[in-house]
Amino acid sequence: MEEGAWVKGMKRNEIKVCVPRVGGTNCDFETQLAFKELGARADVVHMNRLLRGDPSISSYDVLVFPGGFAHGDYVRAGAIWAKEMVARIGGELERFVDEGKPILGICNGFQVLVESGLLPGFGGIGQPAEASLATNDSARFECRWVYLRCENRGKCPLVGASPGQVLRMPVAHGEGKFILDKARESLDKLIENDQIAFTYAKPSGERAGGAYPFNPNGSFEDIAGICNPQGNVMGTMPHPERCFYGWQLPDWQKKGLQPYGDGKLLFESILKFVEKRF
């Protein structure tokens, strides 16, 4: 079988997840653990190995860029890692996406996907950035639990939630303010293409409306996560790996311990997508 070819009727324990890391990555093992808990095979692989093709990205079924501060987030958050990948293995990444394989970017990983051109994906990989995740309006590191409203109407099978469903996840970032180049024109594209995955919300499920701290960073139109036009690449600022288990929730002692938190929904949806892809 050709390397990277998908298997019809792929079983959960055959799915291979790659979690790349570089200096400054700090959420890779939590991400790996979540996928392993769900029965998939997950490897944390240093980016230098992937750049050498040992192993190659094409040998995996899922690619997840985790949170952290890649290369210290010098220049801009995620910029150095993104440009390095585009220059060295941009073609491989493009083929990965064209084959329909899923890519998830979490927090710093979302920043990497935006800087590489994979998101919002209007122009394609390596093109000038069409969006940015800028310094929070509060001008400080925001580490808090937020509510997310699922906005996707069906384009992105990776969201793990139904339209209007409210999830609770933590954020931890200094540069999470989502802004768009050509804001109104680009927003219209996102809406028309059903590319908005999540928005920040109030506990009631009502959109945050830019109000702090429900929108923790001042993101344009409360946007917390988006996908590409094909729906198989998604980025989200909140951390699903930090609310995967019930004991990670801040109020489990008050409300009772549940096996899992809302983060499980995203990881489970990615694996279900791979299982049903063919």
Domains of the chain, start order: 12-276 (3.40.50.880)
Q: What are phi and psi of 45, to 5 degrees?
A: -125, 125
Is residue 243 flagged as an active site residue?
no
**Residue 1 pLDDT exceeds 50:** no
Is residue 71 flagged as an active site residue?
no
Peptide bond into 213 cis (omega under 30): yes
User: pLDDT-derived band of residue 9, with 50, 70 and 90 as boundaries?
Assistant: low
User: pLDDT-derived band of residue 8, with 50, 70 and 90 as boundaries?
Assistant: low
pLDDT tens per residue, range 131-148: 999 999 999 999 999 999
Partners of 143 in the β-ladder: 172
pLDDT tens per residue, range 148-168: 999 999 999 999 999 999 999
DSSP states of 95-129 = HHHHTT--EEEETHHHHHHHHHT-SS-SS-TTSPP
Of 71, 115, 241, 243, the catalytic one is 241
Q: Which amino acid is residue 131, in one-letter code?
A: A
Mean pLDDT of 236-257: 97
pLDDT tens per residue, range 172-186: 999 999 999 888 899
Peptide bond into 102 cis (omega under 30): no
Q: What are phi and psi of 217, to 5 degrees?
A: -130, -5
First-to-final CA distance of the chain = 16
pLDDT score for 176: 97
Least trusted range by pLDDT, from 9-13, 41-45, 131-135, 268-272: 9-13
Percent of the chain predicted with pLDDT > 90:
91
**Residue 3 pLDDT exceeds 90:** no
Of 18, 27, 84, 107, the catalytic one is 107
pLDDT tens per residue, range 93-138: 999 999 999 999 999 999 999 999 999 999 889 888 899 999 999 9
pLDDT score for 278: 53
Percent of the chain predicted with pLDDT > 70:
96
